A and B are shown apart, each in its own frame.
Chain A
């Protein structure tokens, strides 16, 4: 069964350092999502891509976070510089998307970030 892949699974970094997470969606899925899940809370959408285009980044802290999906396939989320409050689980999800009228989101295992 196809799955969303994420790496690394765990990352420890010092504050003010740069950190990057990678996501490979299910093959053929046009829509890709990055969520942040703070401990004890539900996931919150950071950014949504349709193919290579950003369609929603209203909750992305753009002063330090950036996301790209250059070829419309895999995606990278970057934080620079990291702050203590960025410690969280970062989840990637994908769905077939608008062309297929199928919006069920499939989630990867997540990257747990700890900022010290």
Chain B
């Protein structure tokens, strides 16, 4: 089946620390991979995406590389800020016959302290 596994949170960091949130997936076919972010009291926002193997998605200082050989899409940021505190969801996107499906991981809460 299709599934996404994320590292458990919470992840607690000091400002300017390096961030890694691990994400691995199981999928049939050739999925695209996404990271979404959910700030407190808000809906999910697309943070970055990669549509094929070896693609690197990047946005707002965050990066993730689609690694087919390790079935991974780890999220990284070189220097986190307090404003990055949120819940981060890894998701795989499947397209079949013109219809689509997003399958989410359980989410990883990030807390950044000054």
Chain B residues lying within 8 Å of A61, measured Cβ to Cβ, are: none
A56 on the B face (CB < 8 A): yes
- Which bucket holds chain A's interface residue count? 20 to 34
User: Pick the contact of A107 from B41, B45, B95, B100 — CB < 8 Å?
Assistant: B45
- Tell me which of B93, B100, B105 has the highest count of chain A C-beta atoms within 10 A of its own C-beta: B100
| Interface of chain B, main secondary structure | strand
- Which bucket holds chain B's interface residue count? 20 to 34
- A105-B102 in contact (CB<8A): yes
Name A residues whose Cβ lies closer than 8 Å to a Cβ of B: 4, 31, 40-45, 48, 50, 55-56, 91, 93, 95, 98, 103-105, 107-110
- B104-A43 in contact (CB<8A): yes
B98 on the A face (CB < 8 A): yes
B9 to chain A, nearest CB (A): 10
Known: A43-B102, A48-B101; 18 extra A-B contacts, CB below 8 A, are A40-B106, A40-B107, A41-B106, A41-B107, A42-B4, A42-B89, A42-B104, A42-B106, A43-B44, A43-B104, A50-B99, A56-B99, A56-B101, A91-B43, A93-B43, A93-B44, A98-B99, A109-B41
Known: A50-B99, A56-B99, A103-B93. A44 touches B41 (CB 8 A): no
B46 on the A face (CB < 8 A): yes
Known: A41-B107, A42-B106. A91 touches B44 (CB 8 A): yes
B69 on the A face (CB < 8 A): no
